Amino acid sequence: MLTIAYSPCPNDTFIFHAWTHGLIAGAPELTVSYADIDQTNGWLADERGLDVMKISAAALPEALANGYELLPCGGAMGRGCGPLVLAAPGFGGSLAGRTVAVPSLRSTAFLLFKQWAAARGEQPEIRVMQFRDIMPAVRDGEVDAGLVIHEARFTYQQFGLECLADLGEWWEATTGAPIPLGVIVARSALGPEVIGGVTAALRASVEHAFAHPQDSHEYVLSLAEEMDPDVARRHIELYVNEFSRDLGPDGEKALERLFV
């Protein structure tokens, strides 16, 4: 039985539902762990690393160096889905010397933020916070700005915040490429036959999710941290797309461009 880790976010549970619930004939059996992507990034170099994991695209070089290989499907990549830099109304001027809260130092979001800030000639102070604490901290003036991901695209207005920058729009305007956020990796030691079976099962699970979106509804909401069903739906629509089916040449080039 293989071990796998992915996040409880709606896009991941939507993708993996069919496989983990026995709906894919002949698929390898799995022991599932739910872990934030920052946790799985941290597991790449130690014994907690599982057979198959969802990690940040930014962590791919580390994964390759630690005996994992990239799978061509199941990840999160697209257009119009990048991280946001948020601030309270009336924020103006440069972020230089200001404090910016970020959810991780190993994420694709933070890598994009560093590239964006460097292009602007800014060096803000960074404070790592739990993702759920960032928007309240910006609202309450504990930090000057915050870097947010995922469902925050749909909810930041509820905190009275404004978007300073959409890093997905910046990335696309700068590179012309889709934005690579998360990828699926498998241990190379599993061997080509097993990895081929994993890839086939994952792709079949993605196809089942597209063909039967209601099948995963209860599973998705049960792990979505009390997320509103409409927000969960919009989350899935944004992050699960043709690149989830297959990275293709455009996806591969986007990953290469991320590390230029």
Query: Is residue 150 annotated as a catalytic residue, yes or no?
Result: yes
- The pairing of strands 52-56 and 68-70 is unpaired
For residues 27 and 206, the answer to whether their CB atoms sit within 8 Å is no
Q: Which burial class, exposed, middle or buried, applies to 58 when counting CB atoms under 10 A from its CB (0-12, 13-18, 19+)? A: buried
Spell out the long-range contacts of 13-16 with Cβ–Cβ below 8 A and sequence spacing 24 or more: 13/216, 13/219, 13/220, 13/223, 13/224, 14/209, 14/213, 14/216, 14/220, 14/236, 14/240, 15/74, 15/202, 15/205, 15/206, 15/209, 15/240, 15/244, 16/74, 16/202, 16/205
- The pairing of strands 162-166 and 84-87 is antiparallel
Sign of the C-alpha dihedral computed for residues 123, 128, 131 and 133 taken in this order: negative
Closest CA to 80 of 246, 241, 232: 241
User: Catalytic pick from 17, 150, 208, 235?
Assistant: 150
- Active site amino acids: 150
